[in-house]
């Protein structure tokens, strides 16, 4: 009953997703909504997996400095990994969450130099924090509430002087005397001088225009003149004048007019006081943040002095009464029953037979992703197959990670994942051998980041993930994987796996079999074939002999183009986007679709895909020069046949030639420059 009762100030787990770890929050208020539900106003605490890699590096350096200063015992690699799960980062961010999402209590403490880090691992639901995270500025700062204990913060007290021993130190260098109780004045005389100082202060405020506006009445000016700042000034005046009342009177009222002394209550305006009250409501007594965010034009000493003077006013008493009345009207505690609904990620329930609820996959060596390298902790004497891991005997199993990876967690590791936001040991996605060198945030990635790094993720989803996070990563083979390739070569079949890279390999089963075979494999040495390798100098000589360097021939001047063609657009045939018709049925054809003749000159060029080319990058134009025979053949085509050939250059053109003349007649076959006829004879 007491475990399910939650009060203001408790650190609790909140669940916002069935697959993600719990959120850790501190309850500040419990409010009842209009529909009868209870909402909790909470302070956010962040894990390492919630901050960026640069901030994780900063947190690592802060942890190393803490270990060196506090002289912590050297933890093991697994303890270092798990301690990162226990570290939190406090923030100033508030949010409201339904109280029904609370899943339990936890304990969060400020890390102190006297604490032993390994002690946090021995306690359940125990966390610590030493840095404050700003979600807006993305910065990590040291918490100002740290208890400063040690030689750096405490003064060294000298030994007490013996009786009759004189102090040889120069007192003027050590401190400044502001009041001497062994003076020649009596107490009534000092009181009379203080009354005169208050009167001078009241008169000075009457002469000052700004003070007349702030204290329009006489009793307000007298009350302001009776504050401590006036009394301190009067006593300093007596000390400086060696307690001579006549000289002190003349110092209070010099020739220019009476001296006006103001404290922070008079220097601050009403708007500045309202800003201070608003900042105090938000940040509490964190004067650095109050000055930085609300009153940057004020000094830190001015803010602190105003706070202690403000506590003596009626305004402070009124606000204190209002807060007490609000606290009485709010809820002090709320009862949340234990959450008993099944988790959607659960794939095997207690009492189910093998093969139900997806449990059949565990019969082929799928083990827990977290504790699979610790078989001694969960012995299983009834193991029948070498591929069946001892952890597979857990009654409950949960899906974890990308669905296509088929990663599983047992019941205890799933609870650890939900509470601490990580696994007991580094996952295989990040490399089990790198557990001791977790300098980056890879051990605390979210599920989406792990899925984006997986080589088995689909391209569509991977492109979206890489668009968000473009950090470079390296997939490094662990030592156990390299050993398993040699020891379990018959199971792994590397040649077959290389031909089928798309087929998944059950790495857990191979490594489990490798652990069983490894003691026997160490006794029989591996068969290796030494291949003699030549030196680098011999290889270079052989390459120089077999493939000598050839100098490129210099290009000649470009072919001149007729100036009349300069106005034509420089778009070649290769940019038309049509396939070439260089040959059809074994007969060569030009680009215009007409058969070559003996006197026709052509220029061939490969056809490429249509694309936009600028004038400067366009190729040289292709020029066709018709011969006399070609022009003579064109005369036998009608106008419609010429147009049809131009529209369909890929079709053959049939030309009907007239019958030849009689042999006895003489006629010119082709137009010639000479006028002599050509005679055909047998």
Strand (E) or helix (H) holding 39: strand 38-46
Spatial separation of the C-alpha atoms in residues 13 and 26, rounded to whole Å: 9
Please state, for a pLDDT cut of 70, what percent of the chain lies above it. Answer: 68
SS3 256: coil
Higher-confidence position of 409 and 622: 409
Spatial separation of the C-alpha atoms in residues 443 and 433, rounded to whole Å: 12
- Tokens representing 329 are 């009207």
The answer to whether 106 touches 13, Cβ cutoff 8 Å, is: yes
Mean pLDDT (whole number) for 353-360:
41
Instruction: List, in order, residues 6 or more apart from 291 with CB less than 8 Å away.
Output: 298, 299, 300, 303
SS3 561: coil
The answer to whether 67 touches 112, Cβ cutoff 8 Å, is: no
**pLDDT at residue 681 greater than cutoff 90:** no
Q: Helix axis angle, 507-521 relative to 479-487, nearest 10°?
A: 70
Spatial separation of the C-alpha atoms in residues 348 and 360, rounded to whole Å: 9
Q: Helix axis angle, 245-252 relative to 187-207, nearest 10°?
A: 10
Higher-confidence position of 478 and 430: 478
Give the residues across from 447 on adjacent strands: none
**pLDDT at residue 106 greater than cutoff 90:** yes
Spatial separation of the C-alpha atoms in residues 419 and 104, rounded to whole Å: 10
* Backbone Cα Rg of the chain: 46
- Tokens representing 526 are 């591996």
The answer to whether 602 touches 596, Cβ cutoff 8 Å, is: yes
Q: Residue 654: which of 673, 633, 630 has the closest Cα? A: 633
The answer to whether 86 touches 120, Cβ cutoff 8 Å, is: yes
Spatial separation of the C-alpha atoms in residues 212 and 216, rounded to whole Å: 5
Mean pLDDT of the chain: 74
The full DSSP string for 456-473 is: TS-HHHHHHHHHH-----
Main-chain dihedrals φ then ψ at residue 545, nearest 5 degrees = -75, -45
Q: Residue 387: which of 213, 247, 508 has the closest Cα? A: 508
Per-residue pLDDT reduced to its tens digit, 161-179: 888 888 888 877 788 888 8
SS3 334: strand
Using CA atoms, how far residue 505 sits from 78, 97, 407, 497, in Å, is 27, 43, 13, 8
Q: Residue 277: which of 314, 317, 307 has the closest Cα? A: 307
Spatial separation of the C-alpha atoms in residues 475 and 483, rounded to whole Å: 17
Per-residue pLDDT reduced to its tens digit, 126-160: 999 999 998 988 888 886 555 667 777 777 788 88
Q: Is 637 exposed, middle or buried (0-12, 13-18, 19+ CB in 10 A)?
A: middle
Per-residue pLDDT reduced to its tens digit, 600-645: 444 444 444 555 555 555 556 666 778 888 888 888 888 888 888 8
How confident is the model at residue 11, as a pLDDT? 94
- Tokens representing 627 are 């011969």
How confident is the model at residue 216, as a pLDDT? 66
How confident is the model at residue 416, as a pLDDT? 92
The answer to whether 316 touches 306, Cβ cutoff 8 Å, is: no
Spatial separation of the C-alpha atoms in residues 357 and 396, rounded to whole Å: 11
Spatial separation of the C-alpha atoms in residues 569 and 615, rounded to whole Å: 8
How confident is the model at residue 27, as a pLDDT? 93
Integer distance in angstroms from the first to the last C-alpha of the chain? 130
* Residue 368 DSSP one-character state: B
Using CA atoms, how far residue 77 sits from 82, 424, 428, 435, 515, in Å, is 9, 11, 16, 7, 21
How confident is the model at residue 152, as a pLDDT? 74
* Residue 441 DSSP one-character state: G
Higher-confidence position of 104 and 598: 104
Instruction: List, in order, residues 6 or more apart from 636 with CB less than 8 Å away.
Output: 655, 656, 657, 658
User: What value, to the nearest 5°, has the Cα angle with vertex 389 and ends 386 and 391?
Assistant: 160
Mean pLDDT (whole number) for 272-290:
89
Instruction: List, in order, residues 6 or more apart from 93 with CB less than 8 Å away.
Output: 43, 44, 135
Per-residue pLDDT reduced to its tens digit, 237-258: 998 998 998 898 888 888 877 8
The answer to whether 392 touches 378, Cβ cutoff 8 Å, is: no
**Could you tell me if residue 146 is left (phi over 0), alpha (psi between -120 and 50 degrees) or otherwise beta?**
beta
Long-range Cβ contact pairs of 649-653 (< 8 A, separation 24 or more): 649/581, 649/591, 649/592, 649/593, 649/594, 650/581, 650/584, 650/593, 651/593, 652/593, 652/595, 653/593, 653/594, 653/595
Mean pLDDT (whole number) for 256-272:
82
How confident is the model at residue 525, as a pLDDT? 66
Among 13-27, 60-74, 297-311, 518-532, the minimum mean pLDDT is found in 518-532
How confident is the model at residue 323, as a pLDDT? 82
Q: Is 307 exposed, middle or buried (0-12, 13-18, 19+ CB in 10 A)?
A: middle
Instruction: List, in order, residues 6 or more apart from 307 with CB less than 8 Å away.
Output: 276, 280, 285, 287
Higher-confidence position of 394 and 19: 19
């Amino acid at each position: 009953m007491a475990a399910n009762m939650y009060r203001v100030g408790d650190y609790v787990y909140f669940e916002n997703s069935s697959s993600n770890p719990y959120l850790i929050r501190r309850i500040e208020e419990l409010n009842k909504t209009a529909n009868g539900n209870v909402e909790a106003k909470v302070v956010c605490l962040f894990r390492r997996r919630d901050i960026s890699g640069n901030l994780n590096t900063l947190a690592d350096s802060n942890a190393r400095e803490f270990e060196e200063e506090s002289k912590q015992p050297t933890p093991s690699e697994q303890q270092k990994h798990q301690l990162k799960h226990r570290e939190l980062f406090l923030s100033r961010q508030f949010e409201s969450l339904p109280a029904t999402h609370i899943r339990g209590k936890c304990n969060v403490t400020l890390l102190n130099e006297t604490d032993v880090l390994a002690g946090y691992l021995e306690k359940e639901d125990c966390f610590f924090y030493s840095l404050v995270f700003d979600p807006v500025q993305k910065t990590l700062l040291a918490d100002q509430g740290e208890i400063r204990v040690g030689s750096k913060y405490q003064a060294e007290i000298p030994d007490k002087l013996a009786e009759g021993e004189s102090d040889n130190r120069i007192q003027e260098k050590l401190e400044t005397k502001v009041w001497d109780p062994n003076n020649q004045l009596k107490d009534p005389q000092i009181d009379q001088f203080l009354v005169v100082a208050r009167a001078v202060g009241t008169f000075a405020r009457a002469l000052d225009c700004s003070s007349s506006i702030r204290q329009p009445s006489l009793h307000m000016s007298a009350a302001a003149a009776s504050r401590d700042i006036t009394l301190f000034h009067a006593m300093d005046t007596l000390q400086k004048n060696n307690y001579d009342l006549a000289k002190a009177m003349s110092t209070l009222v010099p020739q220019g007019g009476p001296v006006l002394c103001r404290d922070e209550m008079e220097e601050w305006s009403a708007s500045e006081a309202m800003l201070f009250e608003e900042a105090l409501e938000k940040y509490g007594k964190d004067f650095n943040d109050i000055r930085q965010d609300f009153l940057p034009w004020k000094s830190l000493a001015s803010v602190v002095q105003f706070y202690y003077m403000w506590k003596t006013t009626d305004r402070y008493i009124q606000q204190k009464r209002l807060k007490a009345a609000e606290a009485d009207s709010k809820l002090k505690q709320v009862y949340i029953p234990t959450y008993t609904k099944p988790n959607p990620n659960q794939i095997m329930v207690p009492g189910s037979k093998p093969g139900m609820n997806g449990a059949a996959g565990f019969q082929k060596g799928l083990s827990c992703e977290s504790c699979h390298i610790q078989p001694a902790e969960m012995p299983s004497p009834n193991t029948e197959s070498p591929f069946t891991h001892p952890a597979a005997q857990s009654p409950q199993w949960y899906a974890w990670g990308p669905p296509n990876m088929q990663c599983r967690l047992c019941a205890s590791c799933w609870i650890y994942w939900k509470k601490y936001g990580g696994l007991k040991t580094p996952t295989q996605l990040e490399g089990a051998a790198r557990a001791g060198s977790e300098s980056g945030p890879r051990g605390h990635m979210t599920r989406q980041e792990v899925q984006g790094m997986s080589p088995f993720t689909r391209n569509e989803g991977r492109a979206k993930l890489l668009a968000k996070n473009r950090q470079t990563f390296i997939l490094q083979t662990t030592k156990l994987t390299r050993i398993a390739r040699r020891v379990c070569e018959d199971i792994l079949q590397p040649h077959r796996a290389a031909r089928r890279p798309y087929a998944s390999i059950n790495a857990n089963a191979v490594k489990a079999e490798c652990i069983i075979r490894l003691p026997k494999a160490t006794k029989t040495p591996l068969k290796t074939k030494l291949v003699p390798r030549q030196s680098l100098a011999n290889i270079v000589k052989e390459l120089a002999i077999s493939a000598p360097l050839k100098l490129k021939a210099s290009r000649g001047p470009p072919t001149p183009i007729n100036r009349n063609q300069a106005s034509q657009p420089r778009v070649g045939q290769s940019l038309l986007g049509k396939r070439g018709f260089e040959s059809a049925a074994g007969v060569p054809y030009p680009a215009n679709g007409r058969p070559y003749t003996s006197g026709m000159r052509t220029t061939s060029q490969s056809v490429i895909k249509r694309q936009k080319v600028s004038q400067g990058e366009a190729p040289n134009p292709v020029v066709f020069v018709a011969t006399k025979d070609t022009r003579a053949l064109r005369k036998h085509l009608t106008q419609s046949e010429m147009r049809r050939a131009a529209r369909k250059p890929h079709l053959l053109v049939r030309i009907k030639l007239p019958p030849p003349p009689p042999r006895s007649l003489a006629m010119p076959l082709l137009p010639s420059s000479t006028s002599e006829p050509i005679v055909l004879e047998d």
